Structure 1
């Protein structure tokens, strides 16, 4: 048996997830991260189990599961607005619980903090969505706005769940019979649609109940209904009680249930499947008897392993096509080693400190014993803890030897803190000197054992580091061979859209925090995003020979057409081609209020850098970001607006945007926009999805072009994509 791997969790999967993840109630949220426009990661801390990572994805994969820290993806660059909003609302919040809405593929996570309640509602069906609401279900923000006749999900409105469906896990026998009798098809289709089980679990229930799947409803009697209802009840009971036997199913091999020996022992090794992963379930399924099934302790572990291996099966790049970033990997492992070595040094110091405290107790045995005996005797006489502390303070001031080490008493804990040779030591009053010293020696031993574990971990890290270096050397050797052999196709352009794996090559420049593009003649053009940046451009980056452009309309950016690159000497003798000037003018008008007003053209003037000054004329005042222009201006009337956004793959991989004539020759694919009614963020999301679909390596676009990064290249105001 084989088929396409499951990429979306079923309603049964989500019910099992809720049961297991609910045990993390009380965990605290540290941070939220958004990857692309469909994957949310919550970093949390559980009091008993430590760091907790949660993945919620609502794109092509629809999943919810925990993730081991070592598998956590690197944090994206600048967090988008959605992630920042979540951090502001959830940092330090307590996880209250998670519920599945009815039997639908919707999860509702609830978090509490002193300043209020936050709900994260994750829709794992259809197009997928994540909505964040307050305690009253008012939407704070959402990844996708929904405006349908049946429901609305938009910021500021009350969140509306989809129309309620029958929950088969809580259905009564009477309601079950009614739903079955209302059907006009066979048993399995009725369970799948009327009872909302979906195809796989409808078939599984028929098999477990011993009912023929294709049996027509008209031919099903009370006995058939009874067996099916009992199978549903057993499934519901197992989910409610967490009676799971999770399996990850693989395409090849035999099911592990067939490998039991006569004595009932299982002779198979865990995780020995060799095929690609096909499914993950909270129970062994008879419908998957022909698949190899790997058992797991918990369903959360099985979910993590399944989706981890699913990504490996689908996305693992061919090492011949993409050179790993060995330098970054080596640096990362070296940082880990440095941290581990620091921890080991700290363990040594902590263990030694505990041993020295124990030795100080024995060195001052008589004094410590007398102090502890005095406190115990007073407690036996009913003296309150506070009064005992007062008496010891008085005795200490009077110079009584046994009271000299006394520092403080904690009556609630039944402990006393003393100081010996400058070292504070906390003792349990009811224990003698020996027991307190043994406790300190035991603590020193525990710390030493932690050191042993850290030493083993550092050896593992060093081995991984050596393996990375070995792979790097092998790559470099292959590169040398390739160089020696020559490349006859060196000048042939690569079809980046069809590449199964596009290597990421970044080279961030100082000007990328401004609006920017390079003209067709490779001149750099920079524009301010706000008054502060306009001010900075004129004061700091405007040089001799540069041109300054600005729209006649109020509210445009300062646009600087650089005559030379920052690394070159400035010159006033450089003649800038007309095409570059026209592109800079189009840039200036497109990112001005002209676009925001929905107009398609505007007037722009251009002056030399020495005509621009931050010093106003006498009696005049310059606002922040403003400047004075002296001398003649050259006008470019009716300059058309025009913006394209695209993906550049050579020499670096990044989003670029600006006048179409300048962008389209530099990018491997572009999308044009014009003034329209869609908000900047909505237009950016649409462009992001379209760009992802154009690349065979869809993960590549996610790595370099989030919706937020795309929005940086869109003009302020509404836009719409130009259909080609």
Structure 2
């Protein structure tokens, strides 16, 4: 049986209550990985750091994750992440809800300057839409333009058509839905009542109704039993009566399912009795908010919370996906396995450091309470005396405000009074500390010491985990060395280079990352087919910088006749090399630079397919105007003759390079196609740049067997970095 990769409507209904426990947490930062995984880093006063993951790609999920499992932050935040940071930094998490019984979650964040809603669509293609308090779309990962609904920036967010909510349906409406069906009972529950396959079967099992019973054979007694089972399920969800389970499927090494043999057996020791069958391993199958009769045949692990069960489930699922053997791969990718364990160790080290800092902060806060005992005791005694006199919390808060105006030190130290929680936040020597108002100084300090101890215990657990990972790392290295010894592998670098040159990177199950961020990466750039660097400005500031700082003798400068083009410099030498005016640049490189200049100008933006370009030598370009002339920012003056390239055709491709570095590249086809493993050709078209970039990203993911590789190096924002301005379309669409 395939493992679950998408949360069900029942899962989301159960999640809402547990995620709601984090209401009041403050948002620190937002991160976007690829075009489908969003991470929100928050701070909760009771629980400390909270990491929320929202994924809407092939895997669709929403849950918190342990700190040691947080993916490394992307090197360059894309525009979507920057927009979220601007809107959410310092905002309070105000709550989460499920839309009807659909697979849609709405997260609400409040800040003094307004409300932000993040609407997560965990169905179909998946999407994340960010709206203001009135549901006007600020931005979305995907634009939706359907007859039934539209989700585009500037429009009002439209939810999908409402479906039947089986958790709130009346008995009369339930009977009507069942009678309208023309199929069997379980399919009716799955589709008409929107339970889906698993929970449709579960309702039948709990009600003692045959799943395949034709709807025409079902009588009122059958309907009553089914409805009672639904009511019990709904009551468990409303009351958060959960007993989360993570289900495991046993599988022999030859891939044969062995779950129908009764799981692991009573003593969990099936293989100790001399059985010659292949050893079995356990793979994660599902995580549910409560035990299911439909999963009774599988081994199950209990959890305290559904969130923690989901965290473990998807973490283990990802590890299993990474470890899945490829029968076409002749040599295990030990280097990727080793790199994976090294990444995990780094994440675990970061978590340990975070635990240490958090525990130290708790202990320091406890010590501060004793250091300022009189001040803190005065604040707590004031609140306790007022509560003994039945004074409302609002009045207590007003008294502190009045005290601040009179300069009373105890009142000035009070930051916030929360009557709903019975807490007061105080400023003690620059540190904000939450205190339980009905407790004394010693009890509050003890609580902080106890919390520090609990966090320290988490650190011990992380230390044990890091030792386990180190053992896995050493085991991977040992197996790599044994493979080399058995295979007689030659480590000669030239042989390795030949092997890399012959590798089909598109079919590789794991592509190693080789990062390199050159000095010119913030400009537009490409290398010609002859190996010369071409750089272009993205705006007036960069045009100015290119002419002033990077233009050297021997270089060529190209520009379109049309207004609104980049300064394009064909470099004869690298800035780190001695410049020379004796270098003769090839005609092919100049032609490619001319096509680059016209393609990344207003010619493309205007939807035209050709334009005129001129080229001059570096010494013909000056920033010093003649008397009576005026140069705008980013402008320059040309002295002497120009060489024109009339009717230069626009043309741009975006590709993914795997050797010698793994990165997105883009520019004229003759140059890029020889340097990239795969390319996609563009032409002027109707799709906005951001939308076209998302289409390219999906195409690239489809082409590589290792989709995670594409996610790591080629986000839509990174692809957009190499696309011409204005509208585009894929040439072969």
What TM-score comes out, normalization by structure 1 length? Answer: 0.82
Q: Paired residue for 1:283?
A: 290
Is the Cα contact below 8 Å between 1:34 and 1:82 reproduced in 2?
A: yes
Aligned partners of 1:15, 1:346: CA distance in 2, in Å? 36
Aligned partners of 2:456, 2:238: CA distance in 1, in Å? 41
Q: Paired residue for 1:315?
A: 322
Point out where structure 1 has 5 or more consecutive residues left out of the alignment: 362-367, 380-406, 414-434
Aligned partners of 1:551, 1:718: CA distance in 2, in Å? 19
1:55-454 alignment, distance < 5 Å:
55-252=53-250, 274-316=281-323, 319-320=333-334, 322=336, 324-325=338-339
Point out where structure 2 has 5 or more consecutive residues left out of the alignment: 251-257, 270-279, 325-331, 386-407, 415-439
Aligned partners of 1:207, 1:331: CA distance in 2, in Å? 46
Q: Which moved more, 1:161-170 or 1:479-488?
A: 479-488
Does the C-alpha gap of structure 1 residues 445 and 633 become closer, same or farther in structure 2, counting only changes over 3 Å?
A: closer
Q: CA deviation at 1:267?
A: 9.2
Q: CA deviation at 1:344?
A: 9.4
1:89-139: CA deviation from partner (whole Å, max 9, x where unpaired): 212222222111111111111121222211111111111111111222111
Q: Paired residue for 1:611?
A: 620
Q: CA deviation at 1:340?
A: 8.1
Q: CA deviation at 1:320?
A: 2.0
Q: Which moved more, 1:553-562 or 1:207-216?
A: 207-216
1:12-59: CA deviation from partner (whole Å, max 9, x where unpaired): 111111122122222222211111111111111222111111111111
Aligned partners of 2:614, 2:482: CA distance in 1, in Å? 56
Q: Which moved more, 1:701-710 or 1:199-208?
A: 199-208
Is the Cα contact below 8 Å between 2:68 and 2:347 reproduced in 1?
A: no
SS at structure 1 position matched to 2:161? coil
Q: CA deviation at 1:440?
A: 12
Match status 1:721 vs 2:726: no
Aligned partners of 1:561, 1:346: CA distance in 2, in Å? 55
Q: Paired residue for 1:544?
A: 553
1:376-423: CA deviation from partner (whole Å, max 9, x where unpaired): 9xx9xxxxxxxxxxxxxxxxxxxxxxxxxxx9667999xxxxxxxxxx
SS at structure 1 position matched to 2:61? strand
SS at structure 1 position matched to 2:187? helix
Is the Cα contact below 8 Å between 1:525 and 1:561 reproduced in 2?
A: yes
Aligned partners of 2:248, 2:241: CA distance in 1, in Å? 22
Does the C-alpha gap of structure 1 residues 256 and 43 become closer, same or farther in structure 2, counting only changes over 3 Å?
A: farther
SS at structure 2 position matched to 1:677? strand
Q: Which moved more, 1:515-524 or 1:306-315?
A: 306-315
Does the C-alpha gap of structure 1 residues 323 and 105 become closer, same or farther in structure 2, counting only changes over 3 Å?
A: closer
Match of 1:24 among 3, 13, 22: 22
Does the C-alpha gap of structure 1 residues 101 and 256 become closer, same or farther in structure 2, counting only changes over 3 Å?
A: farther
Q: CA deviation at 1:570?
A: 1.1
Match status 1:582 vs 2:597: no
Is the Cα contact below 8 Å between 2:333 and 2:510 reproduced in 1?
A: no
Aligned partners of 1:337, 1:233: CA distance in 2, in Å? 45
Does the C-alpha gap of structure 1 residues 586 and 151 become closer, same or farther in structure 2, counting only changes over 3 Å?
A: same
Q: CA deviation at 1:182?
A: 1.1
Match status 1:502 vs 2:511: yes
Does the C-alpha gap of structure 1 residues 343 and 238 become closer, same or farther in structure 2, counting only changes over 3 Å?
A: closer
Is the Cα contact below 8 Å between 2:612 and 2:645 reproduced in 1?
A: yes
Match status 1:558 vs 2:570: no
Does the C-alpha gap of structure 1 residues 188 and 473 become closer, same or farther in structure 2, counting only changes over 3 Å?
A: closer
Is the Cα contact below 8 Å between 2:117 and 2:135 reproduced in 1?
A: yes
Q: Which moved more, 1:673-682 or 1:309-318?
A: 309-318
Q: Which moved more, 1:585-594 or 1:240-249?
A: 240-249
Aligned partners of 1:560, 1:496: CA distance in 2, in Å? 32
> Quick check: which has more Rg, 1 or 2?
1
SS at structure 2 position matched to 1:24? coil
Q: Paired residue for 2:4?
A: 6
Does the C-alpha gap of structure 1 residues 287 and 117 become closer, same or farther in structure 2, counting only changes over 3 Å?
A: same
Superposition RMSD in Å: 4.0
Does the C-alpha gap of structure 1 residues 63 and 339 become closer, same or farther in structure 2, counting only changes over 3 Å?
A: closer
Does the C-alpha gap of structure 1 residues 141 and 173 become closer, same or farther in structure 2, counting only changes over 3 Å?
A: same
Aligned partners of 1:282, 1:451: CA distance in 2, in Å? 26
Is the Cα contact below 8 Å between 1:8 and 1:63 reproduced in 2?
A: yes
Q: Paired residue for 2:694?
A: 685
Q: CA deviation at 1:461?
A: 8.8
1:485-496 alignment, distance < 5 Å:
487=495, 490=499, 493-496=502-505
Q: CA deviation at 1:341?
A: 8.3
1:462-501 alignment, distance < 5 Å:
463=467, 482-484=489-491, 487=495, 490=499, 493-501=502-510
